[in-house]
Structure 1
Amino acid sequence: MSTLSRARCRLAAHPSALDTALAAGVLVCMVAGSFVEPHGPDGVTWGVRTPDPLSLVLMTLGAAALVFRRRAPIAVLAWTGAVSVVESVTGDPRAPVVMSAVVALYTVAAATDRPTTWRAGLLSMGVLTGAAMLAGPLPWYAQENLAVLAWTGIGATAGDAVRSRRAFVRAIRERAEKAERTREEEARRRVAEERLRIARDLHDVVAHHIALVNVQAGVAAHVMDKRPDQAKEALAHVREASRSALDELRATVGLLRQSGDPEAPTEPAPGLDRLDELAGTFRNAGLQVEVARADQGTTLPTAVGLAAYRVVQEALTNVQKHAGPGAKAEVSVVRVGPNIEITVLDDGTGEDPAPAAGGGHGLLGMRERVAAVRGTLTTGPRYGGGFRVHAILPVTSGTTARGNDV
């Protein structure tokens, strides 16, 4: 963060201090301007003059009111406008007391809506300029009177422009936040619907056949000794029901595959024992990956090992896709008490474009996989750049405990 940004943050955190500093600055400018003689003697363009004491008092009153400009902008505008009118009628019209009214008008325009700005701006311009032209000692066409008209118009216009820009930025931020919430909600909804559909299909396919297998197996065990022919018939029904269950289960799982997907692997599910092989595939693709392990050769259950492997795989895939060119990734596996902690860090700049529409479910998939084994997953950007994925998985899988509840 730059020095200017830090200064803005401090000032935004202390608005009263900012208003006090602004009031002091306006007072200094008004007092300094009151000593300037626009038309000096002997044809000199600029000269020095002594301001009237009443003008100095009015300048102080006008500047002091600016301290409260955020709390009561309309009241401050009315007060500074009244002070400026008094100066125009009774004092030296060249004294810049109207500067405080211009700042107050700017505040009203920036803090309210456009109709209020129009009303306050036209009223201020009319009253201040009219008082200077009609009741002041100078001719109505004097440049000092026209300057009042110009500066009040500039104050109102500048405040309205600032208010419009703030509203525009706020609207963009709100639309971006709403789009992000909508995208996350849509992703969660689709995952929940797909999980429910798969669960329903699997239940419909498996439940009937497993119940039939259970009944026929009981019959076979009961009549095995006395009526072996009936036992063989029951076992034939068991074989047929189990074959039907496998066929329908294969068909149901096949619905989740696309035409170009490879056939289901017959080798054991991957785990952390293949972490070096996984890192090697990404190194061959050009990604710099460093692996550090301090898990003391811990043997994980199949479900936990598969979840750990998929977390590392998805995290490295995201690094390769989104971290930008030249990014480096660090993978650490540490045994901490009854858990194993997996951390994937990268130093990427994130300059690559975002995932295409329809993607972006990788982090949600990781979270679902980790939650399935009763672990926790935290993800987020790193301070100074890059991304961090941290998973805590139990060494003892929790899937068995859940399976007993079925």
Structure 2
Amino acid sequence: MPAGSPPRIVGRVLANGDMRPGAPWWREAAILATTFVLCLSGGVAHADGTFGPPPAAAYVVAVLMCAVLPLRHRAPLAALALTTAGGLLVAPVGLLLTPLVVAPAAVAAYALAVRDERRAAAAIPVSAALLVSTTPFAETLSWQDVTRLGTVVAVPLVAGVLGWSVQNRRAYLGAVEERARRAEKSRESEARRRVAEERVRIARELHDLVAHQITLANAQAMVAAQVFDVRPEQTRESLEDVIETTRNALDDLRATVGLLRQSGDAVAPAEPVPGLSRLPTLLESFRRAGLEVSVHEEGTARPLPPGVDLTAYRIIQEALTNVTKHAGSGDAQVGLVWSRDRLTITVADDGTNVRPAPDRPPGFGLIGMRERAAAVGGQLSARRRPEGGFLVSTDLPLPAVRSTR
């Protein structure tokens, strides 16, 4: 709309009779003009059976009945009552009651049916009966008169049926639109949830891959610094371990980022997904960093589902990484207890050589371990031991063992 131009008044009649933007203002004027012409055309047929120009009484009745039609948007029942009252004046003023004359009543009946189905079901038949109540019924009434009066009764009834149909269609379309809106909102929420879960998963994988290697490299560098003056050969070995550890960290990071940059769902990892089968290699890397790790296993080990196997490996890796980070050299114990329906993993340290906590925000190691355990239906707890040190305990569910005979 150009600047400074007056606003246009537009509106559309809703099922409840209100106006909404979308329909041009002239539509209401067209409806009123058409109804007036139809009502006035009914006066062409005279009571004596002849045809001619509408008398003055026809103009008066048409104006009175059409003047109340704008009320149908706010008060359709009152509009129907007033147009019915106008129809009752047709016979007393000498006009012939025809279907065209009651066109305003039909418009009001339609508006009432669209807005209020219950009131329309009671008011429209009453209005149709009242319209023909002023016509004298006698034995000399011809079949043409009966047909005409029957049509007069049918006009508001048919308009009411059309209004009910429109109301039902609007209600159906509204329900379909609401369901579509809810479905779209649900899809958006589901997409946001999946994106958030994927971000957490990526962050957790990067943390487990990189933090483990960086912590080992830091521990190995500290060992090299401590023995630099007294044991040069051990210093060289520690520096070689640092080089190997950082190289592995770069390879893991490059592989992970490469997987994230690929498209498609069927993406094969560059290396097998780690599990408890790689536990000896993992423990050896910690031993080279100065952490003595012992393993105690009870029960009969059996193959694990891929998700549970990866979770068990990552939890042990992160727990030992935390021991290396906060305790440095010392001893740690890893326990694996296999039962019928669960695997219990414990990682504990002896609490010796505990380094003072640096002044930095807490990490996400424990949070990531709890999320991993919960993702496969397990539980994880972490607490300080009364005798010193820290204990991480995890219960992971196992598939039921099928008995064989």
TM-score, reference length from structure 1: 0.52
- Are the counterparts in 1 of residues 76 and 112 from structure 2 also a CA contact under 8 Å? yes
Q: 1:71 aligns with which of 50, 70, 74?
A: 74
SS of alignment partner, residue 48 of structure 1: coil
The answer to whether residue 205 in structure 2 is matched with residue 201 in structure 1 is yes
Residue 382 of structure 2 corresponds to: none
Matched, 1:81 2:90: no
1:20–1:67 CA contact under 8 A, matched in 2: no
Match of 1:159 among 156, 163, 175: 163
The within-5 A match list for 1:369-388 is: none
Which residue of the other structure, out of 27, 32, 41, is the alignment partner of 1:32?
41
Aligned residue number for residue 53 of structure 1: 56
1:86–1:38 Cα change, 3 Å: closer
Contact 1:93 1:138 in 2 (8 A): no
* 1:182-203: CA deviation from partner (whole Å, max 9, x where unpaired): 2222122112111111211221
Task: Give the corresponding residue for 2:177.
Answer: 173
Question: 1:65, 1:76 within 8 Å by CA — same for their partners in 2?
Answer: yes
Match of 2:27 in 1: 18
Matched AA of 2:29:
T
Give TM-score, length-normalised by structure 2. 0.52
8 Å Cα contact 1:84-1:97 kept in structure 2? yes
> Which entry has the higher C-alpha Rg, 1 or 2?
2
In 2, Cα distance between equivalents of 1:149 and 1:251: 83
1:252 CA displacement: 6.6
In structure 2, what is the equivalent of residue 191 of structure 1? Answer: 195
Task: Determine whether 1:217 maps to 2:221.
Answer: yes
Q: Is the 8 A contact 2:41 2:54 kept in 1?
A: no
Structure 1 residues 178 and 18, CA gap change in structure 2 (3 angstroms): same
Offset from partner CA, 1:227-286 (integer Å, 9 cap, x none): 31231232244245446646766887799789954776xxxxxxxxxxxxxxxxxxxxxx
Q: After TM superposition, list the pairs within 5 Å mapping 1:125-136 onto structure 2.
A: 125-132=128-135
1:106 aligns with 2:115: no
Task: Name the structure where helix makes up a greater proportion of residues.
Answer: 1
CA contact (8 A) 2:45 2:96 kept: no
Secondary structure of the equivalent of 2:213?
helix
- Could you say which residue in structure 1 is the equivalent of 2:369? none
User: Do the aligned partners of residues 259 and 163 (structure 1) sit closer, same or farther apart at CA in structure 2, a change above 3 Å counting?
Assistant: closer
Unaligned runs of 5+ in 2: 1-9, 13-20, 271-363, 365-405
Contact 1:66 1:76 in 2 (8 A): yes
* Cα deviation 1:281-310 (Å, max 9, x = unaligned): xxxxxxxxxxxxxxxxxxxxxxxxxxxxxx
1:62 corresponds to which residue?
65
Following the alignment from structure 1 to structure 2, what is the Cα–Cα distance between the partners of residues 54 and 39? 16
Change (3 A) 1:98 1:138: farther
Q: Does 1:142 align with 2:151?
A: no
Whether the aligned pair in 2 keeps the contact of 1:93 and 1:144 (CA below 8 Å) is no
Residue equivalent to 2:334: none
Q: Which residue number corresponds to residue 115 of structure 1?
A: 118
Provide, for residues 203-229 of structure 1, a one-character-per-residue CA deviation record: whole Å limited to 9, x for no partner: 123213212212322443565455312
Q: 1:15 to 1:61 in 2, by over 3 A?
A: farther
State the secondary structure of the residue aligned to 1:230: helix
Counterpart CA distance in 1 for 2:177 and 2:258 is 43
Contact 2:76–2:108 (CA<8 Å) still a contact in 1?
yes
Contact 1:26 1:100 in 2 (8 A): yes
**Worse overlay, 120-129 or 21-30:** 120-129
Change (3 A) 1:212 1:103: same
Distance 1:133 1:197 in 2: 86
Letter in 2 for 1:85: L
- Name the CA shift for 1:152/1:138 in 2 (closer, same or farther; >3 Å): farther
SS in 2 for 1:80: helix
Structure 1: 5+ residue stretches without partners: 1-8, 41-46, 265-405
**Displacement, 1:58?**
1.8
Aligned to 2:338: none
Following TM superposition, by how much is the alpha carbon of 1:105 offset from its aligned partner in structure 2, in angstroms?
0.4
Distance (Å, rounded) in 1 between the aligned partners of 2:265 and 2:127: 74
Distance 2:97 2:266 in 1: 84
Do 2:259 and 2:267's aligned partners in 1 also have CA atoms closer than 8 Å? no
Give the AA of the match of 1:57: V
State the aligned residue count: 249
The equivalences for 1:173-322 within 5 A come to 173-221=177-225, 223-225=227-229, 227-239=231-243, 241-242=245-246, 245=249, 261=267
- Alpha-carbon shift at residue 83 of structure 1 (Å): 1.1
Distance in 1 (alpha carbons) for counterparts of 2:70 and 2:24 = 10
- Matched residue type, 1:126: A
Name the CA distance, whole Å, in 2 between partners of 1:35 and 1:87.
13
- The DSSP-based 3-state class of the residue aligned with 1:69 is helix
Q: Percentage identity across aligned positions?
A: 40
